Structure 1
Amino acid sequence: MSDEPSAREPGEDARIDALEERLRAAREREEERSRPALGAEADANYRMGNRVLAELIGGIGGGALIGWVVDEVIGWFTGKAQHGGLVVVMVLGIVVAFRNIIRIANRRPD
């Protein structure tokens, strides 16, 4: 055997070709497996839906929490608990949440 590339054994090229074919097939399978199923557009829609849901839950929950705190503070000073603050601030939270949802829906896609 010599160090020249032309002096290969006859079966060596077949083994290299078979290895290259298996590597190509493995790369194709990996690309197919790692490709997103529905594409980037579905992922963007999923994120937008989660953001809308978070706005709605945050508006209602945040308004209810702040309203409850307001009612408790007023109740400490007056000696009786009333739920007017809870209702008013929760409605404001819902209004703000819907305003944000409308702004998200009207935003033009990039």
Structure 2
Amino acid sequence: MSEDEPARKPIEEDARIDALEKRLSAAQQREEQRNLKPGSGADANYRSGNRVLADLLGGLLGGSVIGYAIGYFTDTNPWGLLVGLFLGIVVAFRNIIRAANRGPEN
């Protein structure tokens, strides 16, 4: 033996071990996908938060614009605006409560 050659030859990788590792990693990935709940996580919370914000702002702005327009044309402007704003708040909270009771899967 020469000085450049090691005393023992390195053990070669067994093809069966490689195949087993591939099957094991594939099974772990399938298990993670199976345990992952649909609609969960930060994305679903972000979407539901945006939905609540849009319902709230839409109800307030929509009710105030429609109430102002009705009050302007009927010449009862402060009361038309207040009634429209109140109805917009009621509709916004109704939509928020319905979305909260429906759950994150929809």
TM-score bucket (shorter structure):
0.5 to 0.7
What amino acid does structure 1 have at the position aligned with 2:68?
W
Aligned-residue offset at 1:108: 2.9
Deviation digits for residues 54-87 of structure 1 (CA, Å, limit 9, x no counterpart):
0000000000000110011012xxxxx5311110
Aligned-residue offset at 1:89: 1.1
**1:21-60 pair list within 5 angstroms:** 41-60=41-60
Counterpart secondary structure, 1:83 = helix
Aligned-residue offset at 1:109: 3.6
Scaled by the length of structure 2, what TM-score is found?
Answer: 0.58
**1:60-75 pair list within 5 angstroms:** 60-75=60-75
Map of 1:97 onto structure 2? 92
Q: Provide runs of 4+ in structure 1 moved above 3 Å.
A: none
Is the counterpart of residue 87 in structure 1 residue 82 in structure 2? yes
Please give the root-mean-square deviation of Cα atoms over the aligned residues, in Å: 1.3
**Distance in 1 between residues matched to 2:96 and 2:77, nearest whole Å:** 31
Map of 1:37 onto structure 2? none
Counterpart secondary structure, 2:90 = helix
**Distance in 2 between residues matched to 1:109 and 1:51, nearest whole Å:** 11
Q: Is the 8 A contact 2:70 2:77 kept in 1?
A: no
**Distance in 2 between residues matched to 1:97 and 1:47, nearest whole Å:** 17
What amino acid does structure 2 have at the position aligned with 1:74?
T
**Structure 1 portions without partners, runs of 5+:** 1-39, 76-80
Scaled by the length of structure 1, what TM-score is found?
Answer: 0.56
Q: How many residue pairs align between the two structures? A: 66
Q: Is the 8 A contact 2:44 2:104 kept in 1?
A: no
Aligned sequence identity (%): 58
Q: Is the 8 A contact 2:48 2:104 kept in 1?
A: no
